[in-house]
């Protein structure tokens, strides 16, 4: 005995069940209020996708038929209609999802480690050139004469103090250190400020270029370098340039996030326009439905009148009623 084919009604029930389950999955995690708002503002034929934004205030972004349509405050289920708030929430979602603050913290931490790695050899070089400016230093190197005096106060330096170019190189090293320390603090401060204000990243990028130049200045100083007219007097810094590269990579990454953020006002405008249009349509939907029903009823009456008129003309009393 062959099995009976499934009735069309069975397929219909299966389809409705599948659609219901799909909607439940799409809206999973939404509050009852948010689900109610969605049901009020969508048509049965609409394809709606609701996603939770990565924000401190639980916010739902809803796309209807492929277009971002509104943001919902999940606690109240109410659409957000303030342009600034929409942009702020989108920005928070972007920065949180992309780990903006954490990346800046990592960059600053790596920068600090890079800076600290030079401490031992820098301290030694400053001592053997007379540049040490500790509490007991009574002969600071301010100009050529004072630099000769401070160098002469160190036994190792006193033996080369009158070698051609040695004092000038010590003075260059002093200036390189000053430029380095200034650019380090400037870049570090800019990055820390950019954590709360992304627009400071432009300043941070400029500060980083100055900082890299300062690092290069120290690396190429004649006291630390072995070349035809260099002295190779101090040991070359053993800092890890890979760390500096990592800092630059992190800086580039957060700048890309900031660039994405600058485009959010356009996106928030589009969402707000869609929100207002949908809410306007939803508020008019009962009136539209009532008007449609009235037109259909009128058309039905006109059709019946036409049938009756035609029946009288043809002498058929029941035309159109069988």
So what's the pLDDT on residue 216?
A: 94
Whether 314 is in a domain gets the answer no
Query: Which of the four pLDDT bands, split at 50, 70 and 90, describes residue 111?
Result: very high
More confident residue, 249 or 240: 249
So what's the pLDDT on residue 102?
A: 97
More confident residue, 19 or 109: 109
- Name the token pair of 109: 């931490």
- DSSP strand pairing (78-79 vs 67-73): antiparallel
So what's the pLDDT on residue 217?
A: 93
Examine the domain organization and report whether 123 and 62 are in the same domain: no
Examine the domain organization and report whether 145 and 216 are in the same domain: yes
So what's the pLDDT on residue 41?
A: 85
Whether 309 is in a domain gets the answer no
So what's the pLDDT on residue 291?
A: 54
Examine the domain organization and report whether 144 and 205 are in the same domain: yes
**Residue keyed to tokens 């260059």:** 172
Examine the domain organization and report whether 42 and 126 are in the same domain: no
Whether 193 is in a domain gets the answer yes
Query: Which of the four pLDDT bands, split at 50, 70 and 90, describes residue 71?
Result: very high
> Region 23-43: what's the mean pLDDT?
75
Examine the domain organization and report whether 45 and 123 are in the same domain: no
* Domain C-terminal end among 177, 208, 238: 238
302-305 contacts at long range (C-beta below 8 A, 24 or more positions apart): none
* Domain C-terminal end among 197, 217, 238: 238
More confident residue, 302 or 7: 302
Whether 56 is in a domain gets the answer yes
Q: pLDDT at residue 22 above 80?
A: no
Tell me the average pLDDT of the chain. Answer: 84
So what's the pLDDT on residue 12?
A: 45
Whether 234 is in a domain gets the answer yes
- Residues belonging to the chain: 322
- Burial (CB count <10 Å: 0-12, 13-18, 19+), residue 287: exposed
**Residue keyed to tokens 């004469």:** 145
Cα 128-134-135 angle, rounded to 5 deg: 140
Whether 10 is in a domain gets the answer no
Distance CA 187, CA 107 (A): 11
Examine the domain organization and report whether 137 and 226 are in the same domain: yes
Examine the domain organization and report whether 76 and 146 are in the same domain: no
So what's the pLDDT on residue 10?
A: 52
Q: pLDDT at residue 183 above 90?
A: yes
More confident residue, 43 or 67: 67
Examine the domain organization and report whether 54 and 138 are in the same domain: no
So what's the pLDDT on residue 11?
A: 47
Domain count, the chain: 2
* Domain C-terminal end among 238, 261, 280: 238
Percent of the chain's residues with pLDDT above 70:
78
> Region 122-151: what's the mean pLDDT?
83
Picking from 159, 157, 203, 156, the residue whose alpha carbon sits closest to that of residue 183 is: 203
Whether 85 is in a domain gets the answer no
- Name the token pair of 65: 């038929």
Distance CA 255, CA 194 (A): 10
- Name the token pair of 73: 């405050």
So what's the pLDDT on residue 282?
A: 79
Maximal C-alpha separation, the chain: 136
Examine the domain organization and report whether 54 and 126 are in the same domain: no
Distance CA 20, CA 228 (A): 81
Distance CA 134, CA 300 (A): 102
Asked which of 22-31, 48-57, 122-131, 247-256 is least confident by mean pLDDT, the reply is 22-31
What residues make up the domain containing 59? 18-80
- Detail the DSSP E strand segments found in 10-92: 48-52, 59-64, 67-73, 78-79
Q: pLDDT at residue 275 above 80?
A: yes
Q: pLDDT at residue 72 above 80?
A: yes
Whether 176 is in a domain gets the answer yes
Distance CA 279, CA 277 (A): 6
Roughly how many angstroms between the first and final C-alpha of the chain, as a whole number?
42
Q: pLDDT at residue 272 above 70?
A: yes
Q: pLDDT at residue 224 above 50?
A: yes
Query: Which of the four pLDDT bands, split at 50, 70 and 90, describes residue 17?
Result: very low
Query: Which of the four pLDDT bands, split at 50, 70 and 90, describes residue 19?
Result: very low
Examine the domain organization and report whether 123 and 229 are in the same domain: yes
Examine the domain organization and report whether 122 and 43 are in the same domain: no
């Amino acid at each position: 005995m062959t099995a009976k084919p499934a009735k069309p009604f069975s397929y219909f029930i299966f389809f409705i069940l599948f659609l219901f389950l799909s909607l439940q999955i799409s809206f999973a995690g939404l509050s009852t209020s948010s689900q109610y708002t969605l049901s009020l503002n969508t048509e049965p034929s609409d394809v709606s996708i609701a996603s939770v934004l990565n924000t401190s205030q639980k916010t739902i972004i809803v796309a209807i038929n492929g277009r971002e349509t509104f943001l919902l405050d999940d606690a109240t289920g109410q659409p957000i209609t303030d342009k600034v708030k929409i942009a702020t929430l989108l920005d928070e979602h972007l920065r949180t999802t992309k780990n903006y603050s954490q990346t800046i913290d990592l960059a600053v931490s790596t920068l600090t480690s890079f800076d600290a790695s030079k401490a031992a050899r820098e301290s030694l070089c400053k001592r053997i050139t007379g540049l040490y400016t500790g509490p007991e230093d009574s002969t600071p190197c301010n100009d050529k004469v004072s630099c000769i005096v401070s160098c002469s106060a160190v036994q190792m330096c006193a033996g080369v103090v009158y070698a051609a170019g040695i004092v000038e190189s010590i003075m260059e090293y002093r200036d390189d250190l000053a430029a380095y320390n200034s650019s380090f603090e400037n870049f570090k401060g800019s990055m820390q400020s950019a954590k709360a204000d992304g627009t400071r990243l432009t300043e941070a990028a400029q500060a980083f270029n100055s900082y890299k130049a300062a690092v290069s200045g120290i690396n190429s100083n004649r006291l630390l370098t072995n070349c035809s007219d260099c002295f190779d007097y101090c040991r070359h810094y053993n800092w890890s340039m890979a760390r500096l590269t990592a800092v630059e990579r992190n800086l580039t990454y957060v700048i890309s996030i900031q660039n994405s953020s600058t485009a959010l006002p356009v996106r928030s405008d589009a969402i707000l326009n869609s929100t207002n249009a949908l809410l306007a349509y939803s508020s008019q939907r009962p009136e539209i439905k009532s008007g449609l029903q009235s037109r259909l009823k009128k058309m039905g009456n006109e059709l019946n009148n036409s049938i009756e008129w035609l029946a009288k003309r043809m002498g058929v009393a029941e035309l159109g009623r069988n």
